[in-house]
C-alpha cells in the first residue's frame, strides 16, 4: 500500500531520526498503552482486555519475522470464531477510504456480504504468498475435501523501508503458525506481526487494538478493533497537536519554506496505509457492517490522517453473532439482526475504538533497525509533557 513516494520519505525520516537528540530516551523508555497516558477517547468503556479479542470467539495469532539485518516483517491473523469459517460464515463488509493498495478477496466479501476464511495482514509483496498459504491451510481441513472455490482475505501495508520487501520473506510456515497459534485474551501490540516494519506519522507504527462495550440499555454489545498502522499526516492525540510539538508532520518542509525557514525533514506528503479490522457481537447484516466500516474513517481522521493520495485505507467489519451466521449451503437465510435505529451507539463505539487502537499501535511500538534504516519509537516522555500542557494527564494511582 505505501508507495514509492512514501518509501522515499521513510528513508529520509529514518536517517534523520537516528541523529535525534532524544533517540536514546525513545529507545530506553518503557512502552505503554494510550490509557496509561490519560488518553481514553470517547465515552464508552473498553472490554476486559481493551482488544479485538473482547468480542466473544475472536482470536488473534501473530508471527514476527526478523532475519539478519534485512527482514523485518510478519503476519497477523484474525479468526472470527473457533470453527471452520468456510462452513459457518460471518457477515462482513469492506469499506475503502482510499484504494491505493492490495486487499485480496475484498470484492467477493462485498458482493456476497460474508467471510469464508480468517483475515490475514502482512506486507505488500507478500499478500499473494500469504493468500496461497492460507488457501492450503483451509483446504487441508477434513471437511474441505470437496471444496473447489475459496475466497481468502489478505490485507497489507508496505514495510519496504525497514524490511527487504523484494525478498518476499513471508513463508507458508509463518502463515500456518499465525493461524494455528491464534488465541483470545490480551493481544501483543507495536512492532510485532504484520506491524514489525511499519511506520506511522514518521515514528515506528505497528499493530494496535482496542474495544468498547455498550451499556445494557444500548444492547450491551462489544465492538473490537485491530489496526496495522503504516500511514502519515499530522499526529494529534485527543486533540493535542503532538506532531507539530514534536516537529514531525506531513508537508513540514514545504510549510517551513513558505515561512522563510530552511528546516524540516523530507517533504512528507502523509503517504502510507492502514488496515482496520472491526469485529462485533452485535447481530448486524453486511449492509449495516458496511456502514460501521465507513465510520472507521472518522476515528482515523481524529488521529491526524487526511487519507493521502498514496495511502491505502481499508476497513473490514464483521459480526460474530450466532443469529446472523450463514451456513455455506443454506437455501435460505433466517436472521435476527439489529435495526437501523439501533446502530448509532455501535457507530460511536467503532469510532472510539479505532482512534484508540491507532494510538496504541504507535505508543507500544519499539525502535526498529533493519534494511539499513532505523525508525525510532515515538518519545513518550515528550508526548507526556505535550499532553499535560493540553490538559491531558495519566490516571492517578
CATH of residue 263: 3.60.70.12
Whether 396 is in a domain gets the answer no
pTM: 0.92
Domain span including residue 162 = 4-389
State the chain's maximal CA–CA distance in angstroms.
69
Whether 394 is in a domain gets the answer no
Whether 20 is in a domain gets the answer yes
Confidence of residue 261 (pLDDT cuts 50, 70, 90): low
Q: What's the length of the chain?
A: 397
List 211, 311, 319, 361, catalytic entry? 311
Q: For position 2, what pLDDT does the model report?
A: 45
Whether 54 is in a domain gets the answer yes
Is the CB of residue 308 less than 8 Å from the CB of residue 267?
no
Q: For position 14, what pLDDT does the model report?
A: 43
pLDDT digits (tens, 9 = 90+) for 262-275: 665 555 777 899 99
List 211, 273, 319, 361, catalytic entry? 273
Helix axes 172-180, 127-139, angle to 10 degrees: 60
The verdict on whether 311 is a catalytic residue reads: yes
pLDDT at 396 over 80: no
pLDDT digits (tens, 9 = 90+) for 178-212: 999 999 999 999 999 999 999 999 999 999 999 99
Parallel/antiparallel/unpaired status of strands 119-123 and 88-99: unpaired
pLDDT digits (tens, 9 = 90+) for 108-166: 999 999 999 999 999 999 999 999 999 999 999 999 999 999 999 999 999 999 999 99
Closest C-alpha to 345, from 210, 227, 217, 209: 217
Q: For position 343, what pLDDT does the model report?
A: 98
Whether 397 is in a domain gets the answer no
Distance (Å, rounded) from C-alpha 55 to C-alpha 48?
Answer: 10
Whether 395 is in a domain gets the answer no
Whether 215 is in a domain gets the answer yes
45 DSSP β-pair partners = 213
Number of domains in the chain: 1
Which residues, including other chains, have CB under 8 Å from residue 310's CB and lie 6 or more apart? Answer: 2, 3, 5, 6, 100, 269, 271, 272
List 164, 268, 286, 313, catalytic entry? 313
What percent of the chain shows pLDDT beyond 70? Answer: 91
Closest C-alpha to 42, from 197, 211, 253, 173: 211
What percent of the chain shows pLDDT beyond 90? Answer: 83
The verdict on whether 313 is a catalytic residue reads: yes
Burial of 19 (0-12, 13-18, 19+ CB in 10 A): exposed
Amino acid at each position: 500500500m505505501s508507495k514509492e513516494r512514501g518509501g522515499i520519505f521513510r528513508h529520509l525520516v529514518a536517517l534523520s531520526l537516528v541523529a535525534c537528540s532524544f533517540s536514546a530516551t525513545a529507545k530506553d523508555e518503557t512502552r505503554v498503552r494510550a490509557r496509561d497516558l490519560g488518553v481514553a477517547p470517547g465515552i464508552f468503556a473498553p472490554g476486559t482486555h481493551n482488544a479485538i479479542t473482547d468480542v466473544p470467539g475472536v482470536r488473534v495469532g501473530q508471527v514476527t519475522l526478523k532475519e539478519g539485518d534485512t527482514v523485518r516483517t510478519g503476519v497477523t491473523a484474525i479468526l472470527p470464531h473457533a470453527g471452520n469459517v468456510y462452513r459457518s460464515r460471518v457477515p462482513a463488509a469492506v469499506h475503502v477510504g482510499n484504494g491505493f493498495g492490495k486487499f485480496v478477496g475484498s470484492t467477493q466479501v462485498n458482493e456476497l456480504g460474508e467471510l469464508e476464511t480468517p483475515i490475514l495482514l502482512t506486507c505488500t509483496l507478500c499478500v499473494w504468498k500469504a493468500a496461497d498459504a492460507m488457501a492450503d491451510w483451509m483446504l487441508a481441513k477434513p471437511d474441505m475435501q470437496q471444496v473447489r472455490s475459496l475466497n481468502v482475505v489478505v490485507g497489507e501495508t508496505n514495510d519496504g523501508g525497514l524490511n527487504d520487501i523484494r525478498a518476499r520473506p513471508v513463508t507458508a510456515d509463518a502463515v500456518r503458525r499465525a493461524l494455528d497459534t491464534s488465541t483470545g485474551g490480551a493481544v501483543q501490540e507495536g512492532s510485532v506481526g504484520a506491524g514489525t516494519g511499519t511506520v506511522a506519522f514518521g515514528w515506528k507504527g505497528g499493530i494496535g487494538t482496542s474495544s468498547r462495550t455498550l451499556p445494557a440499555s444500548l444492547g450491551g454489545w462489544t465492538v473490537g478493533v485491530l489496526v496495522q498502522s503504516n500511514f502519515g499526516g499530522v499526529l494529534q492525540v485527543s486533540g493535542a497537536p503532538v506532531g507539530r510539538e514534536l516537529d514531525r508532520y506531513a508537508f513540514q518542509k514545504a510549510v517551513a519554506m513558505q515561512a522563510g525557514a530552511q528546516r524540516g525533514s523530507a517533504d512528507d506528503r502523509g503517504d502510507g496505509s492502514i488496515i482496520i479490522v472491526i469485529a462485533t457481537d452485535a447481530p448486524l447484516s453486511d449492509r449495516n457492517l458496511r456502514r460501521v466500516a465507513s465510520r472507521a474513517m472518522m476515528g482515523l481522521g481524529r488521529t491526524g490522517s487526511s487519507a493521502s493520495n498514496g495511502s491505502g485505507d481499508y476497513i473490514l467489519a464483521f459480526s460474530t453473532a450466532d443469529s446472523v451466521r450463514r451456513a455455506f449451503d443454506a437455501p435460505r437465510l433466517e436472521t435476527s439482526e439489529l435495526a437501523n435505529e439501533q446502530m448509532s451507539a455501535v457507530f460511536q463505539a467503532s469510532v472510539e475504538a479505532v482512534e484508540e487502537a491507532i494510538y496504541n499501535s504507535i505508543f507500544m511500538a519499539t525502535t526498529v533497525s533493519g534494511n539499513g534504516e532505523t525508525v525510532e519509537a515515538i518519545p513518550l516522555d515528550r508526548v507526556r509533557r505535550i499532553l499535560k500542557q493540553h490538559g491531558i494527564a495519566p490516571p492517578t494511582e
